[in-house]
Structure 1
Amino acid sequence: MRAKNIRPYWPTEIGSRYARSDGKFSVRKIGVQNLSYCILSVLAVQRRDTAEERRIKHVVYLKWPDHSVPSCTHDFLQIVANLNKVARQPKACSHVASDHPPIVMHCFAGIGRSGTAAAAYFLIELVQRKYAPDISRLVADLRRQRCLAVQGVIQYIFLYRAVAEFLLAKATLSAEFPQHLKLLHLLRDCTTKSECDLAVSVLSSYLTSLETRPAPPPKRCLHGCWCNFPT
């Protein structure tokens, strides 16, 4: 018998309730926003014996096949932006004493998509703090904590795509573009010692195409991002 990828643990309709088989906890959906690429929900988790309730912001990303990468880099970066926003809202989880509520990520096996998403989240945070992101080092650090995190070359390459797109999205003024181009060069240089020569080749090709054009590449997805840079 083929097992299901994941058992449902949250209700799909507003006001509906899902209870664990042992009866200790119940989950009720109290808010939802349906987007083309994700479902944003607010869940109320209640402990049945004490009636203690906690609210959780729950995000289901819809466009990321198993063993692959997101179909649109722009949509993925929107998810990262939402996570950053939630992480900076202390009132989002009133029971948490810290100013930064915890974020939990999961997929099926908990290594490929989850590992890639976590790596991208940390890399974008580094860029926002004006550090040059060392992708190979960060992935190695993640794998020391979660074996096999970031599954395969395609997901490793996607991390470069996501960071490059994030930098290009910030370069809205011509005066800013050289600065972001410099960061892209640093990104490439940080991975020259990596065993993944393909990552260096892809990024070098992308940088060459940028340096020979006065504007970013014309191929864009419906959202205006550069999802189709050379692979």
Structure 2
Amino acid sequence: MTDSKYTNFDYDLSQKILTMLKGGYPAKLKKVLIVTAPLWFKAPFRILRLFVREKLRERVHTVSAPQLGAHVPRASLPRQLGGLLETDHAAWLEHCKNCYVNTLQNAKLEGVIDEYVITNHIPPVKPQNGIIEHEPRDMTSDHATRIDDDSAMHISDRDTPPYTCDPNPLRHTHGYNGDMKSRHINSGDEDDLDISSRGAWSSGEASPGLSDEECGGGGAGESPAALLARVRALGRRGLHAEYEEIRARPPPGTFHHAKLPSNLAKNRYTDVLCFDHSRVLLSQTDPDDPTTDYINANYVDGYKQKNAFICTQGPLPKTFGDFWRMVWEQGTLVIVMTTRAVERGRVKCGQYFPVAVDTRTVHGGFAVTAEAIEQEDDYTVTHLVLTDLRTEQSRRIWHGQYTRWPDYGVPGGAGGGAGSGRAAPVLRFLQLVRRAQARALADLGDAWAGHSRGPPIVVHCSAGIGRTGTFLTLDICAMRLATERTVDVRGTVERVRAQRAHSIQMPDQYVFCHLAVLEYAVQNGYLESADLSGFDDDNEDESE
């Protein structure tokens, strides 16, 4: 809809669009994207959305052109939209014509239609951009974006043209005048954010484009009683063996961007890198350096929500600006920190946010101010105000830091204790995070038109894989259990690891996920009790 005007539309066209949405057309696709919709279109569109079924409504989104790279692989986007594809409209029409003619010929052979339809119905296509030298890929197949040439299967930053992301994904931006009581709607035309999952796929293969319904709940689940029986049968040693089987698999993706010389210093740990296929792309701050779009962070799907989370490492001082730029550009409202800045005498995370009320720090082009701090036994909540210094636009950020989760371990000590109730503080914190996201989303009101659960929640520990992966697994399993009364802990761990490499770092973290889910089931009445007597019998003394 770039450069479209109100005069281009009338009542009849609006009716046609509504009919299309109410029909089966979107259901045959994973997603319908309305690109660069102006404000005059989006306002009535929000009302029209209410008249279509929720399943279809979830598949239709308005996005800005820079956000297309998160929905569609760059190899499948035309260059004028920031992609790598050289489009040839005449060739595409010729291909469509050939497909249609073949279909008609087959129908004729079967006696369905006559020769007149074939010879007179299809007009010739006049080539405009050259001759078709080979048959183009069928862009309607599930693997439409697979790169056929093996030599082109890995696209590095050097092959990717400079491209700048939308600096603010929210449709409106709430201004901040010092007391957060006065807000204004930005006059700019920002678009919605609903970043699609790039999912887990082998190197060189494009995202399968999972729908929200397929995220987090696609595996065969089991009832809480069946989970309890399986945990009892396996014991701690059996779950450790199950985890080792998962960990032994090679990562299903590549790390080319993370290994580029200009990006290596941005990684906290040399052996903890982020996948290419699910990495978060920042706006490019230097037009001559495409690697300025890099941060060690990956999108991870939640329960029936694409890219519900962003998993990242504990920010380094040199990446503080990149971190806050990511938070701003992704529309994030909630940050979860599951580590302390210093643990066992070692720095695990840089102090990227102020720790005293009414103090302000500046990182890159962003200012961060602590508005209020709440300290509890197990966690600290800091209410932050993030300001883009270029535009003076601000956004509130809820920052929750869980402070009693040991590195390389689980809450409550080694093993977590079967049936000990030691997961209760983590489960309370998990609910606190979800309530904070819901409140922040409610405050946005009409400024957000993406998924009903809001923009991605940023989660990090030190490396962004151990405690972070455990937190995500608990959230996904808890939400599925509450909705479907089934759960799939192993499948959830596998899916998280497919988007953030090496998530769930230790065997006891894998065990803790099972025990915590059982504890959640008992707390919420999905399971009467969870007697795990003998769970630790014959268990070797392992210290993680």
Report matched runs for 1:104-115 at 5 Å. 104-115=458-469
**1:54 aligns with one of 362, 382, 395:** 395
CA distance in 2, matches of 1:97, 1:13: 34
- Displacement of 1:230 in angstroms is 4.7
Cα-to-partner distance string for 1:51-101 (whole Å, 9 max, x where unaligned): 110111100000001110112311100111112212333224565443323
Preserved CA contact (<8 Å) 1:55 1:93: no
Task: Note if 1:36 corresponds to 2:383.
Answer: no
Alignment match, 1:128: 482
Residue of structure 2 in register with 1:162 after alignment: 516
SS in 2 for 1:42: strand
Is 2:506 the partner of 1:152? yes
- CA change 1:96–1:44 in 2 (3 A) is farther
1:78 match: 428
> Could you list the per-position Cα deviations for residues 22-61 of structure 1 after superposition, in whole angstroms to 9, with x for gaps in the alignment?
3x11100112211100001111000112111011110000
Q: Distance in 2 between matches of 1:93 and 1:79?
A: 23
Q: Does 1:87 align with 2:428?
A: no
Q: Which amino acid aligns with 2:390?
A: D
CA contact (8 A) 1:67 1:151 kept: yes
Q: What's the RMSD between the two structures over aligned residues?
A: 2.2
Q: Deviations over 1:96-128 (max 9, x none)?
A: 443323211001111101001001110110111
- Deviations 1:162-220 (CA, angstroms, capped at 9, x unpaired): 1111112123xxxxxxx5149x7xxxxxxxxxxxxxxxxxxxx71xx4xxxxxxxxxxx
Q: State the identity %.
A: 25
2:414 is aligned with 1:64 = no
Change (3 A) 1:33 1:75: same
Q: Deviations over 1:132-159 (max 9, x none)?
A: 1111111111111111111121000000
Amino acid at match of 1:86: A
C-alpha change, 1:154 and 1:92, in structure 2 (3 Å) is farther
Aligned counterparts of 1:110 and 1:37: Cα–Cα separation in 2:
20
Quick one: which of 329, 343, 347 aligns to 1:4?
A: 347
Quick one: structure 1 residues 92 and 69, their matched pair in 2 at CA, closer, same or farther if it must change by over 3 Å?
farther
- Indicate if the aligned counterparts of 1:27 and 1:45 stay in contact, CA closer than 8 A: yes
Equivalent position SS for 2:484: coil
Structure 1: how far apart are the matches of 2:522 and 2:397?
A: 32
Gaps in structure 1 of 5+ consecutive residues? 172-178, 185-204, 210-228
- Secondary structure, in 3 states, of the residue corresponding to 2:510? helix
The correspondence for 1:143, drawn from 497, 506, 512, is: 497
Q: Distance in 2 between matches of 1:163 and 1:92?
A: 31
Structure 1 distance, partners of 2:426, 2:444, is: 24
What TM-score results when the alignment is normalised by the length of structure 2? 0.31
Which position in structure 2 is the counterpart of 1:215?
none
Number of residue-to-residue matches in the alignment = 179
Aligned partner of 2:527 in structure 1 is 180
| Counterpart-to-counterpart distance in 2, 1:97 and 1:45 | 21
Name the CA distance, whole Å, in 2 between partners of 1:134 and 1:3. 35
How far apart are the structure 1 equivalents of 2:468 and 2:381?
18
Runs of 4+ displaced beyond 3 Å? 92-99
**Residue pair 1:10, 1:18 contacting (<8 A) in 2 also:** yes
TM-score, with structure 1 as normaliser = 0.71
Letter in 2 for 1:76: V
| Distance change in 2, residues 1:43/1:27 (3 Å) | same
Contact 1:39/1:61 (8 A) holds in 2: yes
> Are the structure 2 counterparts of residues 120 and 7 from structure 1 closer, same or farther at C-alpha, using a change threshold of 3 Å?
same
Structure 2: which amino acid aligns with 1:52? Answer: Q
8 A contact 1:56–1:93 mirrored in 2: no
**Which secondary structure does the structure 2 equivalent of 1:57 belong to?**
strand
Give the direction of change, closer, same or farther, for the CA distance of 1:154–1:62 in structure 2 (3 Å limit). same
SS of residue in 2 equivalent to 1:149: coil
Higher relative contact order (CA 8 A, sep 6+): 2
Quote the offset at 1:3 in angstroms.
7.1
| Cα distance in 2 between the residues matched to 1:157 and 1:11 | 35
3-state DSSP class of the match of 1:83?
Answer: helix
SS of the aligned residue for 1:88 comes to helix
Q: Which runs of 5+ in 2 are unaligned?
A: 1-344, 413-421, 537-544
Q: CA deviation at 1:131?
A: 3.1
2: CA distance, partners of 1:10 / 1:53: 15
Cα distance change on mapping 1:53 and 1:142 into 2, 3 Å: same
Structure-2 separation of matches of 1:159 and 1:6: 24
What is the distance in 1 between the residues matched to 2:476 and 2:524?
Answer: 17
1:119 alignment counterpart? 473
Distance 1:180 1:129 in 2: 14
DSSP-derived class of the 1:60 partner: strand
Report if the CA contact (8 A) 1:54-1:93 is conserved.
no
